[in-house]
Amino acid sequence: MSAPVVVGIETSCDETGIGIVVGNELRANALASSVTEQARFGGVVPEVASRAHLEAMTPTIERACAEAGLHLSDVDAIAVTAGPGLVGSLLVGVATAKALGAALDRPVYGVNHLAAHVVVDELEHGPLPESVIGLLVSGGHTSLIAVGPQGIDPLGQTLDDAAGEAFDKVARLLDLPFPGGPAIDACARDGDPNAIDFPRGLAGAGLDFSFSGLKTAVLRWLTAQQGGSVRRADVAASFQEAVADVLSAKAIEACRATGVDHLVVGGGVAANSRLRALVTERAGAAGVHVRIPRPGLCTDNGAMVAALGARLVRAGQPPSPAAFPATSTMDVAQTVR
């Protein structure tokens, strides 16, 4: 059989993503975002997001098909994010996938958004090695996982805020727009990362993370400066340095502890320029091969879902049962429903 055509549908948060892959080749990655509607609320309002998905779905599917030069009838399988995420948003994607599956008589795979953030790298850097450490850093999750032939082993996770959540909250403290990650990344370019010595949560203490103390430290620091002048770029750069320092140190430690010498970094925060540079530098020093998808594949998109779907099809995995649910929580070790 020639390489399967897989369409991936992503609606877990505020991006409507439709990706189309043929084998490992990315053919289309159409995206519609409700982020500008969300920005005035300073965060994602679930009801606004689900309505936006509903409006964007059909035009985004049409755009993806046009980009790929394919018709829906050419599709061999459908993959959709089944969780974790906002349940009303997920439902729009899952209902669309099931409708397409029924109309086209094709299998449907309800997949884990977090696994998709790791597997998407196959579209850019080719098949993943059999064993790899994944550092997953998004708006809702921060995890270290070991992906091996037996499945996925969770190694560590955040005990409080996710890394992206910390970026979004600190951006608000600095009067920077939502989403905070790209805004802090840009603002930090003019700042001194060593200006303020912000705490590194749980540094040297295992593979779990903590970012709420860092967020509070930024708030305290800003409060203490009241009346004085604050170099916002220095605060942004010093905060970003603290996050990138802990994430990269623990990712390399996970490789050392498990003896696995390949590391993949995925999720929206993997788009961060300082994190990318520091992980690459430290991996090089530790003899670890690091793979980070280009920024456009790190933040939520449909291609990542299609990439994971294609991998499941190749592995001969059975599709999800017809009644598979959309759920706000999904264990990081569970790839497919």
Residues that bind Zn ion (CB under 5 A): 138, 300
CB of 337 to Zn ion, least distance (A): 17
Residue 64 CA to residue 70 CA, distance in Å, equals 9
182 binds, among Zn ion, ligand KG4, none (CB under 5 to 8 A by kind): ligand KG4
CB of 318 to ligand KG4, least distance (A): 26
Residue 35 CA to residue 86 CA, distance in Å, equals 15
CB of 92 to ligand KG4, least distance (A): 16
CB of 142 to Zn ion, least distance (A): 11
CB of 2 to ligand KG4, least distance (A): 32
CB of 182 to Zn ion, least distance (A): 14
Buried b (16+ CB within 10 A) or exposed e, 125-154: eeebeeebbbbbbbbbbbbbbbbeeeebee
Which of 134, 156, 180, 193: binder of ligand KG4 (CB under 6 A)?
180
Task: Rule CB under 6 A: say whether 168 interacts with ligand KG4.
Answer: yes
Type and span of the H or E element at 154:
strand 151-157
Residue 291 CA to residue 91 CA, distance in Å, equals 32
Looking at the Cβ atoms of 75 and 137, the one nearer to ligand KG4 is 137
Reading phi first (left if > 0) and then psi (alpha if -120 to 50, else beta), residue 163 is in alpha
Task: Rule CB under 6 A: say whether 269 interacts with ligand KG4.
Answer: yes
DSSP 201: T
25-33 vs 15-22, strand pairing mode: antiparallel
Find the part of the chain contacting ligand KG4 (CB under 6 A) among 29-37, 231-239, 265-273, 307-315: 265-273
Task: Rule CB under 6 A: say whether 193 interacts with ligand KG4.
Answer: no
Among positions 276-305, residues that touch ligand KG4 (CB under 6 A) are: 299-300
| Spatial contact of 210 and 159, defined as CB atoms under 8 Å apart | yes
Sheet holding 151-157, edge to edge: 151-157, 142-148, 132-137, 262-266, 289-291
Find the part of the chain contacting ligand KG4 (CB under 6 A) among 27-35, 91-99, 174-182, 247-255: 174-182
Which of 17, 107, 110, 140: binder of ligand KG4 (CB under 6 A)?
140
CB of 218 to ligand KG4, least distance (A): 15
Residue 161 CA to residue 328 CA, distance in Å, equals 17
SS3 267: coil
Task: Rule CB under 6 A: say whether 272 interacts with ligand KG4.
Answer: yes
Interface with ligand KG4 (CB under 6 A): 13, 138-140, 164, 167-168, 179-182, 185, 267-269, 271-272, 299-300
